[in-house]
Copies of this chain bind each other. A is one copy, B any other.
Amino acid sequence: MASIKITPEPTIRRLPKYVHLLTILKHKGVKSVSSTMIAESLELDSTLVRKDIEATGIVGRPKTGFLVDKLIMALREHLNWNNEDDAFLIGAGSLGAAILGYKGFRECGLNIVAAFDNNPAKIGTVIKNVPVLDYTKLEEHCRRMHIHIGIITVPAPVAQQTADALIRGGVRAIWNFSPTQIATPQWVVVEYAQLTMSLAVLKRKLRETELTDNSIQETK
Binding site for B on A (CB under 8 A): 1-4, 6-7, 9, 12-13, 15-17, 20-21, 41-43, 78-81, 85, 94-95, 97-99, 101-102, 104-105, 108-110, 128, 148-149, 156, 172-173, 175, 179-181, 187, 189, 191-215, 218-219
By beta carbon, the residue of chain B nearest A188 is B209
Query: What is the bound-complex CA distance between A21 and B181, given in angstroms?
Result: 9
Residues of B within 8 A of A181 (CB): 17, 20-21, 41-43
Contact of A218 among B2, B16, B81, B206 (CB under 8 A): B2
Q: Is the beta-carbon distance between A156 and B20 smaller than 8 angstroms? A: yes
Q: How far is the CB of A181 from chain B (nearest CB, A)?
A: 6
Number of identical monomers bound together in the oligomeric complex: 2
Q: Is the beta-carbon distance between A214 and B2 smaller than 8 angstroms? A: yes
Q: How far is the CB of A196 from chain B (nearest CB, A)?
A: 5
Q: Is the beta-carbon distance between A202 and B173 smaller than 8 angstroms? A: yes
Contact of A198 among B191, B199, B202, B211 (CB under 8 A): B191
Contact of A200 among B12, B85, B212, B219 (CB under 8 A): B12
Q: Which 3 A-B pairs have the closest CB atoms?
A: A98-B98, A94-B101, A191-B202
Query: What is the bound-complex CA distance between A9 and B10, given in angstroms?
Result: 13
By beta carbon, the residue of chain B nearest A157 is B24
Residues of B within 8 A of A198 (CB): 175, 191-193
